[in-house]
Chains A and B, each alone.
Chain A
């Protein structure tokens, strides 16, 4: 099963990367940050360049999707956060209106992004005009084709509309948002027409995600991370013990710092609904991922480990029926962890007919044990139930 990085090593790597942050802070001190009121912010601000756009964005941005009160948006901008994200579809358009009003006169100092989930050119054009009107702005800094998880969904006509809007000055940069970075980012990099990638990314994901993110950044795309807190664990519902654990003081901040510790990520857009959350999240700038943060995240991973295989390659024992256990668990993680059901099933269907026919429930006892506590037999049975 190879020598894949273990989750703990993965977190350690994040810690090491985090040590590079003061360098970035130093860069901002050398005058790379935008000028204006942000310089007087009471919080330590860190900036990075959003890929080929050249925009200098704070490493902590603000996802406004579930923000109800405009004062939180206004205060975030007052504190110096300069990257705000919304979408045409959020709250049926009410969210764009709220964000536009809340940013008010600060608009010009802000990197403002919105998205359209339109599937044809006419709808897309209409969405852009509506977004401009609702956000009360002449231009959008980054305009994403929203929630595109299949290459086929990013049609030529959508790209044409996006590129035309760029030429017309209605948008400054073109992007795509995706929950399937492993599939979409390589294609986007190769396509060469997208300036920014908005992607799900957090500490719970396996190391292959890092590679996809790094490759996208190397290709010149600005990488914006969403679902940085627990998006990869989104099947956790309010009241879920694991989710409650993540809500413990410091855990969310640690998760945010983990993402920021990745140099390939330009900015993050955690959702914020209140001032307390805002105050906590801005602390992620100017600080590094500490050993304590690492512990918190490791503990959280322990809590979810019975469900999520981290592909550490340390499985104890072999399947009597020859099943590639780690691979099947990975396919299940695609579906259960990242919402990539199609990808998980596609990979499962590539197994041999004999392997696809195996039902783990038929074995009296599973001969494969996970040293980290993944309930192998149960998870394998779930994969077979879901995919076969």
Chain B
């Protein structure tokens, strides 16, 4: 190998690497552009996330707390989270998690429920639930209440939750 080529080798390698990298990058961009989801209207969590089976547990007379449950499905490549819920008929709404450890049922307040990209989060008895605290009226089976969900990107979605006894 002549001295010139030897001297130029690092430069050649560098240029090739940059070139390859650039090519690689452009393919990625092209693929991203092809992705149908980003091309269509959905731009935020509220549009990407679908809610199924929203429901509220009917309350006993005088009972001023209840739980709301639902399944949140994230149809996007981005992970989101449910960060808060509001309901006009409750003084406070919180997100709680029930867990069982050595036969002990424990409930704790959590700041959010993660909804993974192309995944889902299930709010169900014995797990995550929305805690409606300080209910102004009884939750009667057969009625429906509007809940407003707020996601991690501050987008919001309202759902009609059916009130039921949540038995078998």
A binds B: no
Spell out B's residues near A (CB within 8 Å). Answer: none
